[in-house]
Structure 1
C-alpha cells in the first residue's frame, strides 16, 4: 500500500486558508446592500454590485453576512485587512492588563517598614493594579493572629483614599491575607 507523499507536495498541506470575508465571486446571495465610497447606498442585485466594484478596480467584500440582505462594501480588500489588523493591534496595546502585586508583612513589622510598604501599595493602586497584602506567620508567631489582623486593617485604613478592601483579612494556611482593588479614577471637569 502506497503512502501519500509527505511535505509540501501533499494536497492536504497546499490548501489556501479560507478568507475571513467572502469577496467578489464567493458572494452567492441574490441581493446585497451596497455601501462604500463613490457608491449610491442601496440594495442591488449581486451581479450589478460586482460590476460596479470591477469598474472602480476594487473588491466587493461582504461586511455583514447575517444582515438581510447582506451588507457589502466596495473597497480594496488587502488594504481593508491591513487596517483591521492595525486597529486590533492598537486596541490590544491600549488595553492594560491589571496585575496583582504582593506586599508581605510579619506580625512584628515596625512603623517604618509599614509606611514604606504602604507607599508602594499606593503607587500600585494608582497605576490600576490590585494589591494582595498578607501577613506571614512563622513558627510560634501563629499565636499572634490578632496582631496580623490589626496590621491588615490598619493597612486598609491607610489605603482608603486610593483603594478599597475587597475582602476582610482571612487565614489561608500560615498566611492572613487581604485583597485591595483600586478605586475608579473619575475625571474632574
Structure 2
C-alpha cells in the first residue's frame, strides 16, 4: 500500500528513515520504533503513517487518516488566506488650486484608505499651461504628507509624470 499524496507529507512506504518517533491516533507517544513496525501498526488500524516533522532526530510520524488530515490542513490554509489583507494602491486626485474644504475631503479619503491598510497614490493634475505651477503642486503634496505623517510614511516623493505630479503614501506598521 504505497501512497504519496503531495510534496509536503511522506506517507507509509515512502518514509525511508530507519527509525521514527511514533504518535498514535489519539496523540499518545508510543516511542521510537522502526519504520516498518510503525507502518504495520498503522495498516493494522486501517490508517496511514504520516511524517509530521523531519526536523527532529528521529523524525516524528503520526498514525492518522490521511484524507481527514489533508482536509484539515487545507481548511486551515484557507482560513489563514481569508484573514490576510492584500494592500492595494488607492488614488486620490486633485488640482493644485484646490479649495480648503475640498482639500479636507481628499485628506479624509486618504486617511480612510491608510487606516484600512492600503497605500495612497496622491495625484495633482494639470491642464494646459498650468504645468508651470509645479512648485505649488509639490507644496500641496508635501502639505498632505505632513498632515498624514502620524499614520503614514512617504514611500515615493512627489514626481512629475506627464501632466501629473504623483506621490505615494504607505501606512505605518503598528
TM tier, smaller: 0.7 to 0.9
Aligned partner of 1:19 in structure 2 is: 5
Considering fraction of residues, name the structure with more strand: 2
Aligned partner of 2:17 in structure 1 is: 29
Helix, strand or coil at the partner of 1:167? strand
Out of 76, 86, 97, the position equivalent to 1:97 is: 86
Helix, strand or coil at the partner of 1:128? coil
* 2:137 equivalent to 1:151: no
Superposition RMSD on alpha carbons, in Å?
2.1
* 2:159 equivalent to 1:173: no
Gaps of 5+ in 1: 1-16
What's the TM-score once normalised by structure 1's chain length? 0.80
What's the TM-score once normalised by structure 2's chain length? 0.86
Gaps of 5+ in 2: none
| C-alpha separation in 2, matches of 1:39 and 1:159 | 55
Helix, strand or coil at the partner of 1:121? helix
| C-alpha separation in 1, matches of 2:162 and 2:90 | 20
Q: How many residues align?
A: 169
- Structure 1 residues 52, 38: CA separation in 2 closer, same or farther (over 3 Å shift)? farther
Instruction: Please say if residues 4 and 14 of structure 2, whose CA atoms lie closer than 8 Å, have aligned partners that are also in contact.
Output: no
Shift of 1:26: 3.0
